[in-house]
Each structure stands twice: as structure tokens, then as C-alpha cells.
Amino acid sequence: MAFRYSFRSPHATLAALLLLGVAGLGAAAVLSPANAQEEVSEVAAAEFANDPEARGTTPEAHKGYDIAARSDRTDHGYGDSRVSFTMILRNAAGQETTRDVNITTLEKADESVGDKSLVIFETPADVRGTALLSHAKILEPDDQWLYLPALKREKRIASANKSGPFVGSEFAFEDFTTQELNKFTYKYISEGELDGMAVDIIERYPRYENSGYTRQVSYTDQEIFQVRKVEFYDRRDALLKTLTLDDYRQYENGVYRAHKFTMVNHQTNKETDLVYEDYEFGLDLDENDFVKGVLRRIR
């Protein structure tokens, strides 16, 4: 009981009620603040199957997992999406280069697998049409294919390279491939305040192999349950990078998405910003739109 968790916002209660309604539980009694901890996990248990290995054994681990699960599951059910973004890479001297990227995502069927995504580069012009198709997994390495339009060649690539930089940016491959709940174990640290928001601070530890991190510290707001900031600690447990997520917007389907990501590398003073355009949802995509054969239709 030491890590009692309480809702502060009426929106959160409403969201929880809606979730309960969907789940058909209708047990409003569990919404009393004293029982909020259990209520979070009951919501989770009703609609999703918690991974006991990822959820851990201690109360801190449970609570950390449940907060992360709620954040993840709040935006569940979007089906598919497409969005363009600009990647701005800034070196220590402040010089900028940019890449325009388009990403299409198919939501996972359940939490035992990951999302499928297709990333296509639009600029720089010499790599236009280069694409990366990923089938994210939980603990096994993701399946990834690279498409090189000049050669019309698709190539399965090793995804053991979790910690390497993604196309010269401050984002590692593991930051970029979809953030699956069960890829980590968790530990609740404390409540806190970030930019005037009440946040839950939790640590997460990669369960998959070849991660470049010992741990990540995430800050999730208590109002709409979105991750606002993540600090990444390298293999020596020194602070390596900080990711800030801004400009959250809610779409008609209820899903929240951040539209600005800022990744600062404290060890090199380099920075990468991702600036997103509007998301498109409801594209009616299916598994067949994410098989490797689609790569050859890109260019």
C-alpha cells in the first residue's frame, strides 16, 4: 500500500469509466481513490493480458508497469495511421540538415506482438524512396527489410543493431521502432511535476538483447497519461540523452499523438528534432500492406 496511486483529474476518471464500460465491468465502486491502484490493473486485465514477466513481482514493478500500460492502452485501437514528419539533425555547432520521412503503421493485433511499420524517406533527394519495413516483436529481434530504390533491391537486414543511430540522428533504432509495453520491465519511482503538470516518474529496463541502455526514466502526465519526457542512461549508467515530447493533440478517434520530439544527446551536444504533420487514421490497411513485396511498389 506504500505506493498508493490516485487520480487527480476528472478526465482520467472519465477515461477509466469509458474503458470499464467497454470492458463490460461496470464496477464503479472500484473507482474510489483508495482503490485506484487495483482499478488500473483491472482495466488492464479486462481488455488486455498483462505479461507477468514484464509486470514483475514487486509492488513498485507492478505500479510502474500499470502506469505504462495505461499510457499505452489509452491510445489503443487506432487501427492504422500515416504521418509525415521532418527530421532536423543539428550538430554541436548548430548546423542543420533535414530529412523528410513518411511512416505508415498497422497496429498490433495484441500485446504479444508489435506494430508493423513502413518508413519511407522523401528527402534528401539522393535517398528518396529508400524504405524500411519493420515487423516489431517483443523479445525476439524485429524482422526488418531495407529497400534500395536505385538497385530495386530489397534486403533483409539484421535487427541486432538496437543501439546504433537511426540514419545519422540522435535516435537509436530502439528508440524508433515502436515502443512496445512488454519490451521492458518497470519500477515506479515517485510522483513529480514537469512544466506545471503532475507526472508519474517510472524507470524502465529493456528486456530485449543488445540495448544500448541500462535504464530509461520516463515522465507520464496524470491527466491524459502521455509520456512527456524520457531520460536515457547508457551502458555505464551515465545520462546519455533526453527526449522531450510536445504538442500532444487528440484526434477524432480519441487517440493522442505528440507532434514534436526533441532528442538531445548530452555527451555529444547534438540534437535531433522530429516535427510531425497531421496524422491520418482509418486507412483500411491490413497485414497484406506490410509484407515485403510492397517495398517494390514504392519506387
Judged by CB under 8 A, the residue of 30, 36, 45, 143 near other proteins is 143
* Span of 33-41, 65-73, 162-170, 239-247 interacting with other proteins by CB under 8 A: 162-170
Site string for other proteins, 228-267 (x = CB under 8 A): ----------------------------------------
Q: Does 155 bind other proteins (CB under 8 A)?
A: yes
Write down the least CB distance from residue 146 to other proteins, Å. Answer: 11
Q: Which span (9-17, 35-43, 56-64, 164-172) binds other proteins, by CB under 8 A?
A: 164-172
Q: Which residue, 155 or 249, has its beta carbon nearer to other proteins?
A: 155
Query: Does residue number 161 form part of the binding site for other proteins (CB under 8 A)?
Result: yes
Task: Please tell me the distance from the alpha carbon of residue 276 to that of residue 247, in angstroms, as a whole number.
Answer: 10
**Spatial separation of the C-alpha atoms in residues 82 and 251, rounded to whole Å:** 13
Q: Of 16-24, 60-68, 179-187, 290-298, which segment contacts other proteins by CB under 8 A?
A: 290-298
Closest CB 141 distance from other proteins, rounded Å: 7
**Three cell numbers written together for 260:** 514534436
C-alpha 46/C-alpha 69 separation (Å) is 12
Query: Residue 288, interface with other proteins (CB under 8 A)?
Result: yes
91 binds other proteins (CB under 8 A): yes
Nearer to other proteins, 15 or 133 (CB): 133
Which spans in 119-274 are helix H? 173-176
Q: What number of chain residues touch other proteins (CB under 8 A)?
A: 35
86 binds other proteins (CB under 8 A): no
What's the rounded Cα separation, in Å, for the pair 273 and 176? 13
Q: Which of 124, 192, 254, 282 binds other proteins (CB under 8 A)?
A: 124
Q: Which stretch binds other proteins (CB under 8 A): 30-38, 57-65, 91-99, 186-194?
A: 91-99
Query: What SS3 state is found at 89?
Result: strand
Q: Is 46 left (phi over 0), alpha (psi -120 to 50) or beta?
A: alpha
DSSP letter at 30 equals G
156 near other proteins, rule: CB under 8 A: yes
- x/- string (CB under 8 A) for other proteins, residues 44-83? ----------------------------------------
Greatest C-alpha distance within the chain = 62
Return the bridge partners of 271, or none: 90, 264
CA 296 – CA 299 distance, rounded (Å): 6
Q: State yes or no: residue 127 binds other proteins (CB under 8 A).
A: yes
35 near other proteins, judged by CB under 8 A = no
- CA dihedral sign, ordered 131, 275, 227, 191: positive
Separation CA 192–CA 177 (nearest Å): 28
Cell matching residue 171: 535516435
Give 276-291 as a DSSP string.
E---EE-----GGGGS
Helix (H) or strand (E) holding 187: strand 184-194
Stretch that binds other proteins, among 22-30, 151-159, 223-231, 249-257 (CB under 8 A): 151-159
Q: List the one residue out of 98, 99, 104, 100 whose CA is nearest residue 83.
A: 104
Tell me which residues touch other proteins (CB under 8 A): 89, 91, 97-98, 123-128, 141, 143, 151-153, 155-158, 160-161, 163-165, 167-169, 287-288, 291-294, 297, 299
